[in-house]
C-alpha cells in the first residue's frame, strides 16, 4: 500500500539549484471526490524556474511544490470522483508536477481528452503550456490565410509550436533566432523564413514582405529584440509578450506607438485556463492532442533525467545550445 511519495519542494525563493530538494511526504489514500495519480513525466519550463525564484505571476505560500506542467495517470479514485482510473491528467492548483504520486480532488487535475489512438506520454507531458499558448495567440488574432506572423526565440519549444500551428492555419512565419544553425530544423517544421535576430532583421523582413508586413508578433525575449519585432510589423499590428528570456524590460520608441499604432499586450496561459469554461479547455486540449497524434505538432526533448537527480536536471536546463526540453522521469 502506498503511503509515501517523493516531491520536489522549496522552502525559500532563490536559485533553483540551491533551493529545491526532494522530500518524502505522507501520501493519504484518496477520499470522497479525490484521485490518486501516478506522475510519469514533467518538463522543466522557464515558468517553473521563475516560480522557484519568486518572480512568477503567482507566488506560492512556502513551503511549496515545484512543477507546473506534466502528465500522470489516475490509479485510484474515491467515491464520487469525476475522474476514472486510466485517465491522463495534469495536476494544477499548486500540487506540483515534479513528484512521483499526487492525491487531490478532481478539480485539482486537468483531464486530457480521450484519443482514438494512444497518447505519446512524452508529448502529452508538454501539451498544456507551449502548444496551448501558441494556439490561443493565433486563435485570438484570427488572421486571414496567407498573413505573416513574426516571432523571436523561434528555436524554443514555444517558437516551434507557433511555426507548426501557423502552418496548419495557412499562415506564414518569419522566425528570428540567435543560432542560424537551427534554420533547417525550423524550415522542416514549416517555417517560411529564418533570420538572425540582429539590427538588420527589420530591413530583411521589409524586403521579404513588401507591403504585407506582419500583423502579429510573438515576443519571448524583451529588450532590444522586442524593439526589433515592433519595427518589423505593420501599422496597427499587435505584439504579444509571453516571456522575458533576456531579463530586460521592453524598450520602445515613442514613434512606434504614436505614428505606427503598434499594440503591445501580454498573454499568460495560466490566466486563460483559470478564466476559460471547462468545455473551452477540453476543446483546446482535444485539438492539440489530435494534431500531436497526427504528427502535425511535435516538441523536441534534449534529455530526460530521473526525478531523484533533480539537481542534474536543473543544471541541464542551463546548458548552452540546448535543443529541446529537459524532462523529469517522475518514477525514477
pLDDT tens digits, 176-217: 999 999 999 999 999 999 999 998 999 999 999 999 999 999
pLDDT tens digits, 138-155: 999 999 999 999 999 999
Q: What share of the chain is helix, strand, coil (3-state, %, to 5)?
A: 35, 25, 40
Contact 217, 225 (CB under 8 A): no
Q: Which long-range contacts (CB under 8 A, 24 or more apart) does 203-208 make?
A: 205/150, 205/174, 205/232, 206/232, 208/174
Contact 60, 78 (CB under 8 A): no
Name which of 79-88, 137-146, 293-302, 316-325 the model is least confident about: 316-325
- What CA–CA distance (Å, rounded) separates 330 from 306? 6
> In this model, does residue 32 exceed pLDDT 90?
yes
Instruction: Tell me if residue 40 falls in helix, strand or coil.
Output: strand
Q: Which band of pLDDT confidence, cut at 50, 70 and 90, is reported for residue 252?
A: confident
Q: Which three cell numbers stand for residue 26?
A: 505522507
User: Domains of the chain (ranges plus CATH)?
Assistant: 4-126+299-329 (3.90.180.10), 130-269 (3.40.50.720)
Instruction: State the chain's mean pLDDT as an integer.
Output: 93
Q: Which band of pLDDT confidence, cut at 50, 70 and 90, is reported for residue 259?
A: confident
> In this model, does residue 71 exceed pLDDT 80?
yes
- SS3 sequence of 3-18: CEEEEEEECCCCCHHH
- What CA–CA distance (Å, rounded) separates 165 from 298? 10
Q: Which band of pLDDT confidence, cut at 50, 70 and 90, is reported for residue 1?
A: low
Q: Among candidates 125, 48, 42, 35, which has minimal Cα distance to 80? A: 35
Residue whose C-alpha cell is 497518447: 119
Instruction: Tell me if residue 130 falls in helix, strand or coil.
Output: helix
Residue of 56, 65, 119, 273 marked catalytic: 56
Q: Which residues contact 2 (CB under 8 A, 6 or more apart)?
A: 27, 36, 101
Average pLDDT over residues 267-276: 94
56 among known catalytic residues: yes
Q: For position 162, what pLDDT does the model report? A: 98
Q: Write down the pTM of the prediction.
A: 0.94
Q: Among candidates 23, 126, 137, 100, which has minimal Cα distance to 331? A: 100
Residue 109: count other Cβ atoms within 10 Å of its Cβ.
25
Contact 281, 306 (CB under 8 A): no
Spatial strand order of the sheet with 64-65 comes to 20-26, 4-10, 64-65
Q: Which residues pair with 196 in a beta bridge?
A: 177
Amino acid at each position: 500500500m502506498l503511503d509515501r511519495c517523493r516531491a520536489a519542494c522549496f522552502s525559500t525563493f532563490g536559485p533553483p539549484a540551491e533551493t529545491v530538494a526532494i522530500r518524502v511526504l505522507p501520501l493519504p489514500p484518496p477520499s470522497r471526490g479525490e484521485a490518486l495519480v501516478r506522475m510519469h513525466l514533467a518538463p522543466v519550463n522557464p515558468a517553473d524556474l521563475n516560480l522557484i525564484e519568486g518572480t512568477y505571476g503567482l507566488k506560492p505560500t512556502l513551503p511549496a511544490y515545484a512543477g507546473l506542467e506534466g502528465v500522470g495517470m489516475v490509479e485510484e479514485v474515491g467515491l464520487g470522483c469525476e475522474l476514472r482510473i486510466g485517465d491522463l491528467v495534469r495536476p494544477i492548483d499548486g500540487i506540483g508536477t515534479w513528484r512521483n504520486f499526487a492525491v487531490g480532488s478532481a478539480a485539482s487535475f486537468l483531464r486530457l481528452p480521450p484519443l482514438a489512438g494512444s497518447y505519446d506520454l512524452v508529448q502529452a507531458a508538454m501539451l498544456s503550456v507551449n502548444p496551448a499558448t501558441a494556439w490561443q495567440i493565433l486563435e485570438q488574432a484570427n488572421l486571414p490565410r496567407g498573413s505573416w506572423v513574426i516571432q523571436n526565440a523561434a528555436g524554443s519549444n514555444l517558437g516551434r509550436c507557433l511555426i507548426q500551428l501557423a502552418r496548419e492555419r495557412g499562415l506564414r512565419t518569419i522566425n528570428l533566432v540567435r543560432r542560424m544553425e537551427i534554420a533547417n530544423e525550423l524550415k522542416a517544421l514549416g517555417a517560411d523564413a529564418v533570420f538572425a535576430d540582429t539590427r538588420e532583421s527589420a530591413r530583411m523582413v521589409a524586403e521579404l514582405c513588401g507591403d504585407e508586413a506582419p500583423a502579429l508578433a510573438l515576443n519571448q525575449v524583451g529588450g532590444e529584440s522586442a524593439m526589433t519585432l515592433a519595427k518589423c510589423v505593420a501599422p496597427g499590428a499587435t505584439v504579444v509578450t509571453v516571456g522575458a528570456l533576456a531579463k530586460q524590460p521592453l524598450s520602445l520608441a515613442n514613434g512606434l506607438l504614436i505614428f505606427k499604432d503598434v499594440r503591445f499586450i501580454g498573454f499568460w496561459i495560466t490566466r486563460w485556463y483559470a478564466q476559460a469554461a471547462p468545455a473551452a479547455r477540453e476543446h483546446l486540449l482535444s485539438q492539440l492532442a489530435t494534431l500531436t497524434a497526427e504528427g502535425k505538432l511535435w516538441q523536441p526533448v534534449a534529455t530526460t533525467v530521473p526525478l531523484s537527480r533533480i539537481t542534474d536536471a536543473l543544471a541541464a536546463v542551463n546548458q548552452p545550445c540546448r535543443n529541446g526540453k529537459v524532462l523529469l522521469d517522475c518514477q525514477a
